Structure 1
Amino acid sequence: MTKTASFFFLPRFSSEDISGQNQVKASVQRRIRQSIAEEYPLLEPLLEDMLPKKSPMIVVKCQNHLNLVVVNNVPLFFNIRDGPYMPTLRLLHQYPNIMKKFQVDRGAIKFVLSGANIMCPGLTSPGGVLDNEVEEETPVAIMAEGKQHALAIGFTKMSAKDISTINKGIGVDNMHYLNDGLWKVLSAFPSTL
């Protein structure tokens, strides 16, 4: 799968953005499962329970190039512009160890929760933590100093090593955060369809 950094952000996402939904064929379902297994190897033992082969998989397409993967009326993953699949925050809260993690310091929390991208100094200052194995264009969970659950899911604009070295500018694009449009639609699902 080729990754791309040309993403749209989701803060303004709403149920009106949904343009269609399709139950996918078995071959498409296999491709989606394979992509998710490759992106999140720690999730592979759970995939059969999470994405059972016998349950219908529905892909909800949205006007803002967002696709939601829905199984048993539960949105589990999303991708934007055919980029990598990312778990929804609700799924990430259930399985917190499926993604690489970055941690922002306390001062960055309010900005991340308002949709701001994650700046390098928020990750490198005391309270911030980087996983040095993370490369550019990788989905990551954004944790916060002193908090138990992820507050956002992002897509790295540079590697963790470059974030440490350069230490300025945007390190991670904020893709999905607590209380954004996708979070609110997820809490009302499936009544939004």
Structure 2
Amino acid sequence: MTIKVKKRNFLKKKKIKEIKKELGEYGELLQNKKNVEILEAEPDSFILVDGEPYIILIDEKPFPTLKAALANEIHGKKVTVDMGAIRFVSNGADIMSPGIVAADENINPEDIVLIIDETHGKPLAIGISLITGEEMVENDSGKAIETKHYVGDDIWNFEL
């Protein structure tokens, strides 16, 4: 799958405000940024911050990209997976409860979460929580997070 660029425009302050609100705690990625553009593309559009793809719009919902997570210290909700889960996560698998060693207690279903590795604390994926943070750690079976973007996918490899 390749990403096909359609058009690119600067965003108005009102639209930036709306996106920041939707992103919740990840809205800080757009804080006081001068060059914020929308890159309309297929299958998903991007929000560019100073020319870098910081936010992706999946089904019209904004998600931070892993490049944004690596370039900025973001303080969103995090889920830590054990080293055995990394192989599956980097292939785009959804996150299963048995692979989770820690999760922020304030995670609720439908929250955007950042999946990090246990050893280095590096971002591996971004997804949507299906259960609470407490349940993620307690459960010993079942799916906990639906992966939306991971290291090595087309979004990760996208360059302008």
Whether these two folds match at TM > 0.5 is yes
Q: Which runs of 5+ in 1 are unaligned?
A: 1-11
Alignment of 1:84-103 (within 5 A): 85-103=62-80
Q: Which runs of 5+ in 2 are unaligned?
A: none
- State the distance in 2 between where 1:118 and 1:157 align: 10
- State the distance in 2 between where 1:164 and 1:146 align: 17
- TM-score relative to the length of structure 1: 0.73
- State the distance in 1 between where 2:45 and 2:71 align: 21
Question: Paired residue for 1:155, among 118, 128, 151?
Answer: 128
Query: What's the CA shift for 1:183?
Result: 0.7
Query: What's the CA shift for 1:175?
Result: 1.2
Alignment of 1:69-80 (within 5 A): 69-80=47-58
- State the distance in 1 between where 2:140 and 2:110 align: 17
Whichever structure has more strand as a proportion of its residues is 2
Query: What's the CA shift for 1:165?
Result: 4.6
Secondary structure of the residue that 2:149 maps to in structure 1?
Answer: strand
Which 4+ runs in 1 deviate beyond 4 A? none
- State the distance in 2 between where 1:72 and 1:131 align: 30
- State the distance in 1 between where 2:26 and 2:15 align: 19
Question: Paired residue for 1:58, among 37, 44, 48?
Answer: 37
Question: Paired residue for 1:105, among 69, 82, 86?
Answer: 82
The alignment status of 1:23 with 2:10, answered yes or no, reads yes
Query: What's the CA shift for 1:74?
Result: 1.4
Letter in 2 for 1:105: D
- State the distance in 2 between where 1:163 and 1:94 align: 27
Query: What's the CA shift for 1:152?
Result: 1.0
- State the distance in 2 between where 1:24 and 1:175 align: 24
Of 148-157 and 159-168, the range deviating more from structure 2: 159-168
Q: Aligned residue for 1:6?
A: none
The structure whose Rg is larger is: 1
- Percent of pairs identical after alignment? 24
Q: Cα RMSD over matched residues?
A: 2.2
- TM-score relative to the length of structure 2: 0.86
Q: Is the 8 A contact 2:80 2:115 kept in 1?
A: yes
Aligned length: 160
